[in-house]
Structure 1
Amino acid sequence: MKVSPEQPFQIIYSLFSHEFLGLLFESFVVQLDEKGRLSFAHQNISSINAREFSSGLDDTDYKLIKWMDEMQQENVVKNFNTKKLKPKEFLRKIYDPKTGNRAIQEVIELKLEGLRAKILEKLTGKRFFEMGNDGNPIWREIEIMPDKASVLFHFRRNEENTHYFPTIKYGADKLEWQYKNAYLICHEPAWLVVDYMLYNFKKGVDGNKLKPFLNKKFIVIPKKVEEQYYKKFVTQLVASFDVYAVGFDIKVERSEPQAILSLSDLPSSPKTDLFGHAVEEEEDDKIVFDLHFQYGPYVFRSENRQDNNVELEKIGDNYTFYKVVRRPEEEKNFGDFLKNLGLPVKLGRFSMEKSKAFGWINTHREALEERQISIQQALNQKGKRYFIGSAQISVEIKENIDWFDVYAIIKFGPYEIPFHKLRKLLLQGKSEFELPNGELAVIPNSWFVNYSEMFAFMEEQEEEQHTANLVLKKHHLALAQELQQGNLLQLTLSRKLEKLRDFSQIEDYDLPATFKGKLRPYQKAGYNWLRFLNEYRFGGCLADDMGLGKTVQTLAMLAYEKEANPDATSLLVMPTSLIYNWELEAKKFTPKLKILTYTGTQRIKDNRRFAKYDLVLTSYGITRMDVDILKDFYFNYVILDESQAIKNPGSIISKAVNELNCRQRLILTGTPVENGTMDLWSQMNFINKGLLGTQGMFKKQFLQPIEKKNDMDKAAKLHAMIKPFILRRLKTQVATDLPEKVINVKYSTMTPEQEKAYEEVKGYYREKIVNEMTIPGLRNQQFTLLRGLTQLRQIANHPRLTDKSYKGDSGKLEDVIHMLEATASEGHKVLVFSQFVRHLGIVREYLDEQGIKYAYLDGATKDRQGQVREFQENQEMKIFLISLKAGGVGLNLTKAEYVFLLDPWWNPAVEAQAIDRAHRIGQENKVMIYKFITHNTVEEKIMALQERKMALAGELISTEESFMKSLSKDDIEALLI
């Protein structure tokens, strides 16, 4: 009979017995009459039509309907009924007493029992009925009792047997349930219907423990099986439920749990020393923590999660059950507490490296004591006994004249251990040693973590009494200061050395009178820093951004050295292409310095000459070849410019410069780290030998943890150690100290092949032009001169501009590429201008080979604005190659911080236009301009002419023609010398 959802209705749930599947539930909607009573009008409701009656359903109803759908026979059999039999026919076959499939029956029953348990749990507050034999879903209503009943199991033991039976109480009343036609709807957990009332039970009673007593008063346990029955069955009942016994004892322990951490050895992998090298060691490598809980005299492992534990004891003919009522919530709290301390043992055993384990105990000792968690040691097979008391280390460092003296006190409980003994153990990677009482003390891992670098860098000095005195070199000051900041040692410093902690407190030193020039504020600060390092004989790395004046700061310091040590000679090693730049800068800023340029095939290989000069300039190549000559002279300073040249510690040049003898060392570089952390070690080891330990030690201590494990703590330690000896200012940091634009000239040296090509063309045009100048009235000499000068300028850039078959290199290209990579790696954007599109093409070819992104613009470029937008907005694009004529006007490139002019222009006004592409309104950065000039070529001479002509004519010279006309015979001859 159809039920109208428009009229009052109610959802009800009905219980019926299926021929094969047992007790099942079904959902119905029943129409209500005018008095609100259930009528005979009803219909089945399922997930298919439930939405029609949504006005009378809640979320629980939808769940119940879904679960009841799942237990209908057609849904129960569909996964097994492969032959597509009718559900009833399939079930008849499966449940046939003789030929039925017991395995499928068990799977079905397991599923149905699970559904019954879920449904019954949600039926509270719903109307529930037994279905009549005629299919009436509301035949007899079953009341669902709101509270849970309790079961008490009784045992009465006498001389012949034991009687066993359960009683049920609901609230304070005893429930009469036997011989009442009571039945179980669900067994796990038990749901029992008695007199049309539905009960469920505290402690999740299993219905199978009640079922035998529905129509039986008690079960008799014969004497002969008594002991076996007590062990297997009664112990489980006593553990889980309330039991009343006569004839045997049940003793219950209800004390608070006492947490115990038990320690034992766990053999592990081979041991390594402080630097990761394998060490032959018989010690076990790991400690196992095992969490136990003690209740009175009983101890349980934490992973044994039973709420109650029962043990049976039989003495003579008497039985005693010992029941321990555990407190799982409190046990969980202990487990959570230990997990928060870094020891996740609540699920059982947890192993940890031995040194870390005792470090953990030492670190958290107070917290453990506060929570009354005791630490006990289980005797293992070897019989080792570990010291688990307090371990303490205190280190004090005091400044001496040339080093730091190290004093340390090590205590394990009442025992004080000599510091040098502990240091040797740490360096060997050993973590344990025997105390006078026979216990094994284990060095906490925190000592390895906190002090391993310092212990590794210490040196032993034999004193007169032949006792070892431990010292630390002064250049390890930063390491000591970092440990002091972490409250890991006491550090006593002189007031002067204390200033090195904060760079801003360094004394302000006067510039030498012989220094001709003015230093910007940040350059003066750099000079002060160099003087400070000089005073303490520390080596240093001046690593300012390109263009910030590393050269001028160094020259100021060298000028001071000439005043302070007039008889001393310093050595400056650099790439060949920089020698001329240094000569020019030295003449400009320090004209009093006597300089020897020790280069070329005609150099005089006699180091006695060096003493006559204040400064010797040489190249890395010459140093490599003449190391035997150079190392036999004791220099004041050895300074390396572009020191990334020695980034590979295994290279010949790196080994060569380390052989040089001097009082002090300094390196200059804009890119101290190009490829990896080892670059840093090589350069730091040059300036302050031993600062970062040996190469092998550095790999284990820093390189591998930083590069392979991304260990930020190690990176921070490394940074702290080198910080006092590296001064690096970025252009953005000193922007307020810079003028709006800074113009630098970068001189390049031609390669031998390039020089040969240049001289051939220069010789040809010099003869041709000089001859033409002697012929009166010949007017094409200006054209010849322009063509010749253009070819010479092109060869000064790269001979491939005039000769496509040229296979050699170009000195200028090498310099341009080096500086492009340096600026880009520092995160700066750079504009690269050239008059010659083919020159840009050569640079472009290199960038393509290296996979470096760039923007490009020449006269043939169609999407000019697209290239500009890409350069301005794309953070990854650092380089913009621009043809001077195509890009000289109409571009706004305010993101650029550097401008490279690859070839000098006749008219400086045209160069200025190019510079103004970057240096214009909207530019927030200071702009660094680099003019690349090839030494000993027409480029250098044009630049000199520019300065002279501009001084005379202002900006009147504005074209190539007017520039050519302004050239005198002497000017032309000077260009072609």
Structure 2
Amino acid sequence: MALPSKPAPTFDRNFLIELGGGILFRQAEKLFEAHAVESAEWESPVLKGLVDGGDAVYTPELNLRSTVFAESSCSCLDGRRRKVCVHVLATALHYQALKEEAKHAKVAEALAATPEPKPAPAPEKAPKLPRVRSIKLGADGLLLRVLIFLPPNLEEAAGRGAIVLKLDAAAGREILPLNKLNPRQKYKVAPQQVAVLKLVESWCGGKLSSLLQLTGAQLRQLLDAVRGESIVYWVKKPNAPIDWVGGTLPGVHEFLGEPELAKPEQPEPEPVTLDPKPEPVKKRSFPANISLREKSKPNLRRIAESKGAKLWQARKADYPVASEAAASMENFSHKSVVVDGSPHYLAIRLPSGDTASVQPLRTLLKAEGFMLEPSNRKWWLRDRHKVLNFLAGHWKALERDWQAEFTDNFKSKLQAVEVSALRVEAKEDGGKFALEVSLSQSTDEMELRRALASGKNYVEAEGGAITLLDRTSVEQLHQLERSVSGQADRPFTPTFSKRLETQDLIDVEDLLDELCEGWQPPQAWQSRSRALKEVGALEAAPIRPGFDAILRTYQRIGVAWFWHLYRHQLGGILADEMGLGKTLQALALIECIVTQGSGPSGGKPAAKRPALVVCPASLVENWLRETARFTPNLKTHKHHGPKRAKEPVVLEEYDLIITSYGTLRQDAELLGTMDWCVVIGDEAQHIKNRRSQNAKTLTSLHADGRFLLTGTPVENSLDDLLSLFSFLMPGYLQKPAGKMSQDDKAWHNKRQAERAAAYILRRTKKEVAPELPDKIEKTFFCELGNKQQRFYQDTLEKTRRDIFNLEMSGANAGRVQFAAFTELLRLRQACVDPRILDEEFPAKDSAKLAAFDEVLDECLDAGSRILVFSSFVTALQLLAEHLEQKGHKFCYLDGKTKNRLAICDQFNEDESIPVFLISLKAGGTGLNLTGADTVVHYDPWWNPAAEAQATDRAHRIGQTKVVTSIKLIAANTVEEKVLELQAKKAEILQELFDESKAANAKVNLDDIKNLLK
């Protein structure tokens, strides 16, 4: 294929993972490696391809007018719904490979100019081999290639005549041992590969084997069948096929001996006849109950004709169609299953030979009452009721699984018989959809009910029309009824109807996609549901350009997901892993809602109503700062603390209100009377108990949109999901009704979890790592509570007073400066944990301890492991006591620890230990702790180099995960002021907070006073 003249993007790994996700990319790689892509062409801005998917040929297209929201289409099911599918990614991989090949065009031309050795002349007539019996072959089957692996001791093994080969099969997208192929699956195999399969069967008694011991001549024969194909490997180099050179494999063929000379072809012997002087005789037809042996013996022909005539006369009256069955089957191959009959009887002939492959069918026929007549080797069923029941249950299976051939007689006699199949109809009605599903449109429902109640799998109507109740369609309908109704014990009915809410569409669509092949929902249905099934199909949210430039691609998709749900009056949970910017995505949504000025589905303008964010008290300050940084145009108000508003009219003047769960409980009446454009609950684990006051109050709020944020997976229990969805979409998930069996209860819980999954968006660092830095740094602002704030202010006033008194007493500058250092240290300790200074201070009032618990819970649920650094040993000891009380395992290291390396090894090797507490001086250097992927700086290290050095205990060679570094900062304290000055006066701060140099630090006293303002 000629490469396009117009520039095309580079379809590298990062680009394609960003486009379709890691799981889809790995599937596309397998499809590409299986040589399934037939062509790939770039016509700017569209990439087009042709892909052999095994079951069909697909035509993917990728329009890259917008690199963020690419438009994808394909003839596959996902592609028809505008999802990015595996065929699109495989086409992109193929196109990129073609570009790489083009770079070496000169080399390719030089090689093309080199004359290739002439192939050895083929024999005039290839030796005939038996057909492949172990598997089914067909042009519409799954693509199959045989892979040959040679032993490393080939030379020695060839000398002994005992070369052991390993044979694998690349079937579709998986590689498995050759003897593990599914005998019922149909495979598409190239002619050379067919020859390999035939040879293996001929050497293994008609079966396929994954291990073979061959002579040199046999191996040569096998390799000749696949000459030129890159499917031969050394067993120790499974990723690099051996290159063919001049029709041979270097290092292989020279050990196999000379090829045997072809023996002269012998004339085929004349057919042997039993009569020494055969005379032309009139061709006779023999009755079905006469064996082949009787037919073949001339001296018994007369007896056979006489015997057959009598037996046939006796049967003809009872079964007038049997003669037609015997005659109509003679024209079919003896290598296939042949079915003949009518509504009154069935005659099935099984393939001759290869008894093992048809044993399951033979067992089925016996179980269904068929009798084998040895005289004609056919299985007969002569009972109308049994025949119709059998056809209802197994007609489709005979076609699909056994590739049975049906006689013209059978087709003629059963042409008026209808086989039931699910019939689905969905009509839009007032913004909702009425779903109707039935088994048959031509059969009365009461007749269907009576037939099923009596054990009949068919219905006979007046006039002779017959409807077979296919067991698969009956089971599918019952499964659909249970799933859509949510009733595990729901009785089966032949018809089912339900009025669907918007939130039900995606769930029901998934069920129908699985059960009803080819079913397509109406366009209005698709527009509401398809974006939830594949975030790549989402339309971009109207994000402000300046804000959009800040967002990463996966964050834009998260905002588009939020926006889609909001516009369709749905709720959702953003459950991205910690450090991926959930707050940022939520703020982008709020700004979109406020600036667009319209409610969901074109309702009342949303700009007249503020948005509400509810979060833990320790995160209120963090939300305020993130809002000021990223959405400065929003009028934001903190409704928290003693000076909060008392009347709704005050809050209605703002675009965004931020409050805590505690304040929400206290001001439930005030906040509950307001109308909100959207309510967002941060750290959703705070409402996982639906009986808690947090959950009840949050659920009672009036809002157009409802969303939750959490880095904690929410699938822990059905009760958790019920609580979360009681807020998001009341009534969508249901509690188990009444008494249920264990099986029914398990089914119900699983079903509810499946329904919830569509409204939970979770991305991990591993999934988005290609576009993220390998180290994420995050600052976490903690707002001091009233009690700790008073404690800090008292300490600050004492510090100022002591410095002033020293100066007034005439103390020298060195003494004043040393005292200032000491008091500044006390202020830092008051920020970290007041219990360092006052043992009686309540632990529950420590802001950093509360923030640490939030981080810890999220990390534990995400499977992350944490290093916690502090410059205060007392703070680490208090954390150790806290972890013991909560029952968490941890490691501990400070200056008194003797066996440092042993403790580090224990943490790295024992993944059941989630936390490692480390002091600044003892663990800042010299440790390798790649077992962790999260670093928490409990109190800030004012020297940026020292802080980075601590983080690098986890982020270093050997680390395979993205490392998240979290800095806990007490808001509106000396910690925050020093953080602001860190970049400007790094050299001053380094001296200022290195306690070992405090007495000699060359820091101006005015710098210290500025920090204390």
TM range (shorter): 0.5 to 0.7
CA distance in 2, matches of 1:956, 1:790: 13
Q: Give, as a single letter, the amino acid of the residue that structure 2 aligns with 1:524.
A: R
Matching residue within 790, 798, 823 for 2:825: 790
Q: How far is the alpha carbon of 1:946 from its aligned partner?
A: 2.2
Matching residue within 735, 758, 763 for 1:695: 735
Aligned to 2:875: 839
Q: How far is the alpha carbon of 1:414 from its aligned partner?
A: 3.2
Q: How far is the alpha carbon of 1:875 from its aligned partner?
A: 2.3
Q: Secondary structure at the match of 2:711?
A: coil
CA distance in 2, matches of 1:815, 1:858: 23
Q: Give, as a single letter, the amino acid of the residue that structure 1 aligns with 2:431.
A: D
Distance 1:905 1:452, change over 3 A: same
Q: Which runs of 5+ in 1 are unaligned?
A: 1-254, 256-331, 342-357, 372-388, 423-430, 459-467
CA distance in 2, matches of 1:457, 1:933: 51
CA distance in 2, matches of 1:479, 1:361: 33
Q: Give, as a single letter, the amino acid of the residue that structure 1 aligns with 2:761.
A: L
Distance 1:918 1:411, change over 3 A: same
Whether the aligned pair in 1 keeps the contact of 2:559 and 2:589 (CA below 8 Å) is yes
CA distance in 2, matches of 1:956, 1:774: 26
**What does residue range 378-527 of structure 1 map to in structure 2 within 5 Å?**
394-399=423-428, 402-409=431-438, 414-416=443-445, 447-456=477-486, 470-488=498-516, 491-494=521-524, 496-497=527-528, 498-513=530-545, 515=547, 518-527=550-559
Whether the aligned pair in 2 keeps the contact of 1:478 and 1:722 (CA below 8 Å) is no
Q: How many residue pairs end up in the alignment?
A: 595
Q: Give, as a single letter, the amino acid of the residue that structure 2 aligns with 1:745.
A: T
**What does residue range 612-761 of structure 1 map to in structure 2 within 5 Å?**
612-673=653-714, 675-692=716-733, 694-697=734-737, 709=746, 715=750, 717-761=751-795
Q: How far is the alpha carbon of 1:476 from its aligned partner?
A: 1.3
CA distance in 2, matches of 1:670, 1:638: 18
Q: Secondary structure at the match of 1:732?
A: helix
1:548 aligns with 2:580: yes
**What does residue range 828-867 of structure 1 map to in structure 2 within 5 Å?**
828-867=864-903
CA distance in 2, matches of 1:491, 1:610: 44
Q: How far is the alpha carbon of 1:731 from its aligned partner?
A: 1.3
CA distance in 2, matches of 1:596, 1:653: 21
CA RMSD of aligned residues (A): 4.5
CA distance in 2, matches of 1:973, 1:699: 70
Q: Give, as a single letter, the amino acid of the residue that structure 1 aligns with 2:977.
A: K
Q: Give, as a single letter, the amino acid of the residue that structure 2 aligns with 1:683.
A: L
1:927 aligns with 2:958: no
Q: How far is the alpha carbon of 1:792 from its aligned partner?
A: 2.2
Q: Secondary structure at the match of 1:491?
A: coil
Distance 1:363 1:627, change over 3 A: farther
Distance 1:795 1:414, change over 3 A: same
**What does residue range 799-814 of structure 1 map to in structure 2 within 5 Å?**
799-809=834-844, 810-814=846-850
Whether the aligned pair in 1 keeps the contact of 2:791 and 2:834 (CA below 8 Å) is yes
Whether the aligned pair in 2 keeps the contact of 1:515 and 1:589 (CA below 8 Å) is yes
Q: Secondary structure at the match of 1:665?
A: strand
Distance 1:499 1:584, change over 3 A: closer
Aligned to 1:60: none
Distance 1:738 1:867, change over 3 A: same
Whether the aligned pair in 2 keeps the contact of 1:410 and 1:418 (CA below 8 Å) is no
**What does residue range 91-170 of structure 1 map to in structure 2 within 5 Å?**
none
Q: Secondary structure at the match of 2:875?
A: helix
More strand by proportion, 1 or 2? Answer: 1
Whether the aligned pair in 1 keeps the contact of 2:476 and 2:515 (CA below 8 Å) is no
Q: Secondary structure at the match of 1:765?
A: helix
1:563 aligns with 2:592: no
CA distance in 1, matches of 2:543, 2:711: 24
Q: Give, as a single letter, the amino acid of the residue that structure 2 aligns with 1:798.
A: D
1:602 aligns with 2:643: yes
Q: How far is the alpha carbon of 1:955 from its aligned partner?
A: 7.3
CA distance in 2, matches of 1:817, 1:799: 17
Q: How far is the alpha carbon of 1:751 from its aligned partner?
A: 3.6
Q: Secondary structure at the match of 2:543?
A: coil
Distance 1:966 1:407, change over 3 A: farther
Aligned to 1:528: 560
Distance 1:547 1:519, change over 3 A: same
CA distance in 1, matches of 2:683, 2:447: 46
CA distance in 1, matches of 2:718, 2:485: 22
CA distance in 2, matches of 1:861, 1:824: 26
CA distance in 2, matches of 1:872, 1:593: 46
Q: Which runs of 5+ in 2 are unaligned?
A: 1-314, 316-358, 369-387, 403-417, 462-468, 489-495, 598-606
1:351-385: per-residue Cα shift (whole Å, max 9, x none)? xxxxxxx99997668779999xxxxxxxxxxxxxx
**What does residue range 181-260 of structure 1 map to in structure 2 within 5 Å?**
none
Q: Give, as a single letter, the amino acid of the residue that structure 1 aligns with 2:771.
A: D
Whether the aligned pair in 2 keeps the contact of 1:391 and 1:412 (CA below 8 Å) is no
CA distance in 2, matches of 1:562, 1:619: 21
Whether the aligned pair in 1 keeps the contact of 2:991 and 2:1002 (CA below 8 Å) is no
CA distance in 2, matches of 1:339, 1:650: 59
Q: Secondary structure at the match of 2:773?
A: coil
CA distance in 2, matches of 1:958, 1:622: 37
Max radius of gyration: which structure?
Answer: 1
Distance 1:469 1:339, change over 3 A: closer
Q: TM-score, normalised by structure 1?
A: 0.54
Q: Give, as a single letter, the amino acid of the residue that structure 2 aligns with 1:537.
A: Q
1:435-464: per-residue Cα shift (whole Å, max 9, x none)? 999xxx999675443322313599xxxxxx
Whether the aligned pair in 1 keeps the contact of 2:911 and 2:931 (CA below 8 Å) is no
Q: Secondary structure at the match of 1:773?
A: helix
CA distance in 2, matches of 1:919, 1:413: 69
CA distance in 1, matches of 2:578, 2:476: 42
CA distance in 2, matches of 1:750, 1:929: 22
CA distance in 1, matches of 2:816, 2:390: 89
Matching residue within 922, 941, 945 for 1:886: 922
Q: Secondary structure at the match of 1:947?
A: coil
CA distance in 1, matches of 2:725, 2:389: 33
Q: Give, as a single letter, the amino acid of the residue that structure 1 aligns with 2:802.
A: K
Q: Secondary structure at the match of 2:676?
A: strand
Whether the aligned pair in 1 keeps the contact of 2:676 and 2:702 (CA below 8 Å) is yes
Distance 1:569 1:786, change over 3 A: same
Q: How far is the alpha carbon of 1:718 from its aligned partner?
A: 4.3
Whether the aligned pair in 2 keeps the contact of 1:684 and 1:691 (CA below 8 Å) is yes
Q: How far is the alpha carbon of 1:839 from its aligned partner?
A: 1.3
CA distance in 2, matches of 1:492, 1:963: 78
Q: TM-score, normalised by structure 2?
A: 0.53
CA distance in 1, matches of 2:881, 2:479: 49
Distance 1:959 1:794, change over 3 A: closer
Q: How far is the alpha carbon of 1:958 from its aligned partner?
A: 8.2
1:378-409: per-residue Cα shift (whole Å, max 9, x none)? xxxxxxxxxxx998653323455632221233
Q: How far is the alpha carbon of 1:954 from its aligned partner?
A: 9.9
1:145-178: per-residue Cα shift (whole Å, max 9, x none)? xxxxxxxxxxxxxxxxxxxxxxxxxxxxxxxxxx
Q: How far is the alpha carbon of 1:667 from its aligned partner?
A: 0.9
Whether the aligned pair in 2 keeps the contact of 1:507 and 1:528 (CA below 8 Å) is yes
Q: Give, as a single letter, the amino acid of the residue that structure 1 aligns with 2:840.
A: S
